[in-house]
Amino acid sequence: MPKPTVSYICSACAAVHKKWSGRCDACGEWNSITEEAPLSAGPTKKSLGADRGRAIALKDLATEETPPQRTKSGLSELDLVLGGGLVPASALLVGGDPGIGKSTLLLQAAASFARAGLSCVYVSGEEASAQVRMRAQRLGLSDAPVKLATETNLRDILTTLDKERPELAIIDSIQTMWADNVDSAPGSVSQVRAAAHELTTFAKRTGTAVVLVGHVTKEGQIAGPRVVEHMVDTVLYFEGERGHQFRILRAVKNRFGPADEIGVFEMTGRGLSEVTNPSALFLSERDKPAPGSAVFAGIEGTRPVLTEIQALVAPSPLGTPRRTVVGLDSGRLSTTLAVLEARCGIPFAGLDVFLNVAGGMRVTEPAADLAVAAALLSAREDVALPPDTVVFGEISLSGALRPVGQTENRLKEAQKLGFSHAIAPSRAKAGGQTGITLRHMTDLTGFVGDIFGAG
């Protein structure tokens, strides 16, 4: 039977289908199936020889392999997110919206690593050399010892990299690369997958650390299949709100360090500058305490970060009131509203609710529940929360408050920023030496009564 000339691949999960359909059976995603040429149009690779796949007893590994030697870039926020520096032979994926600053970040990173002594090659598939040069000039990096290549043909790039054998190679972006043995357009699932596979294999084989830049689709996924995320060791997302100058580099997967670590940057006229004290930055726009505002003492990765949670509650002209959330999970807002209504008798029916994390930050910790509830109640009752107070704690469906981890760190950070009181679930260990007065709460009803004199 002749081979089919096209196949249908889901761009979300890379499942292959016999025919097109509106919804992928494998992952349930709508409108994700695209028509593509089948893989393996090119010659198959020979085995690399028996020695390459040699198995070694675990106890013998210690003597044969030394732990990876990390290199620090000197950009402390980047090093933090990487888990202490760049690991040789690792493959990284840096995803983000177009225009968020990925190329800027990576050019700065390349220059920093080059100045730290690594040989670096920056491959730009999107911009001409003149454009990259102009950017380097603007960033004050014209004299950085980084080699630049403008190329999109994967075969040529691999040949160049094989010749140069740099310690760091940056591929900007994976969507512009095309392998000539794959018969579909650059940016398609098969091309992205083939290029990512070749480049990560190159990293493992030669010891070069390879950074792949990937654009994300409007649904927030790396364009092309999720499988690219599985191929690499580390996945970083570069995120930020359009109107804000703050940018957050977040590790969503890291084989060599803690996931969920964030690095905070500020986009300036001369590139990205590091923000080493994110709490001060996120709270810097805060006016005097107003109804609807609560300061959440959170933990991002390994360090505490204070953010302001803002809520607005207004009578709704609509049959189904609006629930608009920026920077938080909308599911958790619904849960918190339901718990407030069912356990504390405070209804939000007929009211529009807007919830926002100030500064373009995204908060994913369940410990933010109590701060969200505090902001919502404060907005609804039109009562400002006590000033100089931070809030944290998880709310369970019964309305009980659950203690969260790292109380001490949260309190220390709050004290550093001039706060003197904290509201937290009971059993949270008192921060004895932090000098913060801790108000313990056991359940949401008690919290409402105590803070708002209602319930």
Closest approach of ligand TYD to the CB of residue 3, in Å: 38
Query: Closest Cα to residue 71, out of 114, 122, 123?
Result: 114
Which of the residues 78 through 97 are near ligand TYD (CB under 6 A)?
96
Number of neighbouring beta carbons within 10 Å of residue 383: 15
Q: Is 99 annotated as a binding residue?
A: yes
Cβ(387)–Cβ(343) under 8 Å?
no
Q: Is 396 annotated as a binding residue?
A: no
- Whole-angstrom Cα distance, residue 332 to residue 357? 14
Q: Is 257 annotated as a binding residue?
A: no
Binding partner of residue 271 among ligand TYD, Mg ion, none, CB under 5 to 8 Å per kind? ligand TYD
406 torsion bin: left (phi>0), alpha (psi -120 to 50), beta (else) = left
Which of the residues 266 through 285 are near ligand TYD (CB under 6 A)?
267, 269-271
Closest approach of Mg ion to the CB of residue 421, in Å: 45
Q: Is 101 annotated as a binding residue?
A: yes
Q: Is residue 438 part of the contact set for ligand TYD (CB under 6 A)? A: no
Q: Is residue 138 part of the contact set for ligand TYD (CB under 6 A)? A: yes
Q: Is 46 annotated as a binding residue?
A: no
| CB burial of residue 278 (10 Å; 0-12, 13-18, 19+) | buried
Q: What is the DSSP letter of 435?
A: T
Binding partner of residue 269 among ligand TYD, Mg ion, none, CB under 5 to 8 Å per kind? ligand TYD
Binding partner of residue 312 among ligand TYD, Mg ion, none, CB under 5 to 8 Å per kind? none
Q: Is residue 102 part of the contact set for ligand TYD (CB under 6 A)? A: yes
Tracing tokens 């992928």 back to the chain, one arrives at 24
Closest approach of ligand TYD to the CB of residue 209, in Å: 19
Task: For helices 369-381 and 330-344, give the axis angle rounded to 10 degrees.
Answer: 60
Q: Is 416 annotated as a binding residue?
A: no
CA 175 to chain centre: 19
Cβ(434)–Cβ(412) under 8 Å?
yes
Q: Is 103 annotated as a binding residue?
A: yes
- Residues 249-268, one symbol each (x = binds ligand TYD by CB under 6 A, - = not), give ------------------x-
Order the strands of the 16-17 sheet from edge to edge: 16-17, 7-10, 33-36
Beta pairing partners, 447: none
Which of the residues 92 through 131 are near Mg ion (CB under 5 A)?
103
- Whole-angstrom Cα distance, residue 384 to residue 156? 62
Closest approach of ligand TYD to the CB of residue 98, in Å: 5
Map residue 165 onto helix, strand or coil: coil
With CB under 6 A as the contact rule, the residue among 73, 90, 103, 191 that binds ligand TYD is: 103
Residues at the contact surface with ligand TYD, assessed by CB under 6 A: 96, 98-104, 135, 138-139, 267, 269-271
The residues binding Mg ion (CB under 5 A) are 103
Annotated binding residues for ATP: 96-103
